[in-house]
Structure 1
Amino acid sequence: MNTRPVTLVRIFLREGEHVLDKLVHFLHVEQRVVGLTVLRGIIGVGQDGRLHPASLVELSLDLPLVVEFFDQPEQVERVVKELQERFQLAHVVCLPGQAYGVP
């Protein structure tokens, strides 16, 4: 099985920030990162300390989002630098890892 070192990046956002479409376009189309996933949270605590919950009765437009992507460490370093310059993201976490079965 093929393995290679990668860096996994998690970007924590809120729907109310309205940057998701531009961020996904940047990562997928412009930077062509290897893996990209967007997760929508059902509850989160923001920097302001307030809960941002989802409810069946009332759908919030400010739920938490997590954008994850991975690629080779050198590529991720370049992408994250440009991400910060372009989007001024407040919560970005980078984690080292191994990718299995990725060509």
Structure 2
Amino acid sequence: MVKHEVTLVRIYLRESEHILGKIVDYLHDKAKVRGMTVLRAVEGFSENGKLRTSFLVDLSLDLPLIIEFYEEPNKAEVIITELLNEFHLPHIVSSSMWVCSL
């Protein structure tokens, strides 16, 4: 088993910001991250305290989204800096961890 140190990055945004596609394109085409997952929340709130929730009858949604990827620490740092400069994202969280592979 081989261990690799990586940085896990989570980007928090809302559907109403309409930048999900641009960020996904950037991560896939320009940054060429190893892999990425987008999570769509069913409920959440941010620092302003406004609760956002989903019901079956909703026509217009403004739910929380999380974009998550991991990458080598140095490359992740460059990607985070570029994301902040290009998209002015208010909430990015990163953490170092180990990934084990055969």
In proportion to residue count, which structure has more strand? 2
Match of 1:35 in 2: 35
C-alpha change, 1:16 and 1:43, in structure 2 (3 Å) is same
Quick one: percent identity of the two aligned structures? Answer: 44
Residues 33-72 of structure 1: matches in 2 within 5 Å?
A: 33-72=33-72
Question: Alpha-carbon deviations, 1:44-95, whole Å to 9, x = none?
Answer: 1023211010101224421000000110000000000000000000000001
Partner SS state of residue 44, structure 1 = strand
> Which TM-score applies when normalising by structure 2?
0.94
> Which TM-score applies when normalising by structure 1?
0.93
Higher deviation after alignment, 43-52 or 18-27: 43-52
In the alignment, does 2:88 pair up with 1:88? Answer: yes
Structure 1 residue ranges, 4+ long, deviating more than 6 angstroms after superposition: none
**Uncovered stretches (5+) of structure 2, i.e. residues with no partner:** none
> Amino acid of the residue matched to residue 71 of structure 1?
E
Alignment root-mean-square deviation, CA: 1.2
User: How many residues are paired up?
Assistant: 102
**Uncovered stretches (5+) of structure 1, i.e. residues with no partner:** none
